[in-house]
Amino acid sequence: MSFQFSEQEIKALFCDFQSTRKYAEKIHFFDLHFNVVPFDLPEFDTDIYKFFSAASIFKLTEILRVEQKNLSLLGRVFHFNDTAYRFSISPTNSNHIILNDYIVSKFLIKNDQLDTLVIGRRKGHRNGAKSIEEQFQESTQMISYIRKRIDAEYEGKASIETKLMTVFMKGYADYINEVRRPIFKKRRKFIELYLYAYGYLYGKYITLLHQHSETNESHSVEAKGRQNLDKKINLLKELGLVDGIKRKYRSLNREELKVKAAEIVGLITGEESKRLVEKIDLLFTQ
């Protein structure tokens, strides 16, 4: 990852960086100008099989190896003639917590986009895509697959693939169980924080699928209920209910008759009369 700055730009940035006292502000400054995450990591993908494919695992493992060997990832050095300008956010003591939390939050920035993603997929179902219910079922099957992979290996003998999956599942479980995100007191590797955040996002994704699935079912039941109610009202009309009400309550005007009809139909169908008032026009249409 390379950065192109002129000497004048670096001098100005270095001056601003040196004058920034709070560590959290230094991280933000560093991230704004140099990117705190020095790797190109995979974008959020709801296909866990693809995410934990052999090719993806290889890439994550290679990044992990680079991180283990390179201790200067939290610093940038710019040389101009005989002068070196060093920008470093390497944490000390309690600053580990601040750095870890900042990086996790950076990975979780897509959190707000998940609602749009799920709603978009729900609309896409109308164009032949998989339904929300099918996507929810597939997602839970993928999580089940990950769990089985982890459980299949003995503790202490886990492969690098299983170790990566375990960190992912920690984030997933924390979201599902509504556990507050942990405070990582020791410095964590980028890959660890990335996988934790990915699992956390996936937990929200599955939760949203479930919620929208329930909404679909609720809307379906509600629509069916409205159709049944219309049929009942039409049947009552055919049986002469309107004529009976008009004869019995001759002194009432049209609006009063509609209110009275709603009360009577409510007693017959079990529906609330308030809900029936707007429907009762069906009885009085010619």
**1 domain-assigned:** no
- Does one domain contain both 57 and 164? yes
**228 domain-assigned:** no
pLDDT recorded at residue 282: 54
- Does one domain contain both 89 and 33? yes
Which of these three, 190, 219, 248, is where a domain ends?
Answer: 219
Q: What total of structural domains would you count in the chain?
A: 2
**187 domain-assigned:** yes
Across the range 5-14, mean pLDDT stands at: 94
**106 domain-assigned:** yes
pLDDT recorded at residue 131: 80
- Does one domain contain both 127 and 254? no
Across the range 178-184, mean pLDDT stands at: 77
**48 domain-assigned:** yes
Window from 27-31, 209-213, 215-219, 281-285 with minimum mean pLDDT:
215-219
- Does one domain contain both 16 and 48? yes
Span 101-124, pLDDT tens digits? 999 988 887 656 777 777 666 665
- Does one domain contain both 25 and 99? yes
- In this predicted structure, the answer to whether residue 213 has a pLDDT above a threshold of 70 is yes
Span 234-282, pLDDT tens digits? 676 666 776 777 788 878 877 777 777 778 777 777 776 666 655 666 5
- Does one domain contain both 129 and 259? no
- Does one domain contain both 274 and 189? no
pLDDT recorded at residue 275: 60
pLDDT recorded at residue 239: 67
- In this predicted structure, the answer to whether residue 217 has a pLDDT above a threshold of 70 is no
User: How does the average pLDDT of the chain come out, rounded?
Assistant: 81
- Does one domain contain both 136 and 194? yes
Other Cβ atoms less than 10 A from the Cβ of 81: the count is 6
Which of these three, 186, 219, 252, is where a domain ends?
Answer: 219
Q: Binning pLDDT at 50, 70 and 90, where does residue 26 land?
A: very high
Which of these three, 167, 187, 219, is where a domain ends?
Answer: 219
- Does one domain contain both 165 and 72? yes
- Does one domain contain both 132 and 86? yes
Percent of the chain with pLDDT over 90: 35
**235 domain-assigned:** no
pLDDT recorded at residue 247: 80
Q: Binning pLDDT at 50, 70 and 90, where does residue 221 land?
A: very low
**229 domain-assigned:** no
- In this predicted structure, the answer to whether residue 85 has a pLDDT above a threshold of 80 is yes
pLDDT recorded at residue 200: 92
Q: Binning pLDDT at 50, 70 and 90, where does residue 100 land?
A: very high
- Does one domain contain both 269 and 171? no
pLDDT recorded at residue 158: 76
Residue 88's domain comprises 7-219
- Does one domain contain both 49 and 124? yes
- In this predicted structure, the answer to whether residue 187 has a pLDDT above a threshold of 70 is yes
Across the range 54-74, mean pLDDT stands at: 88
**132 domain-assigned:** yes
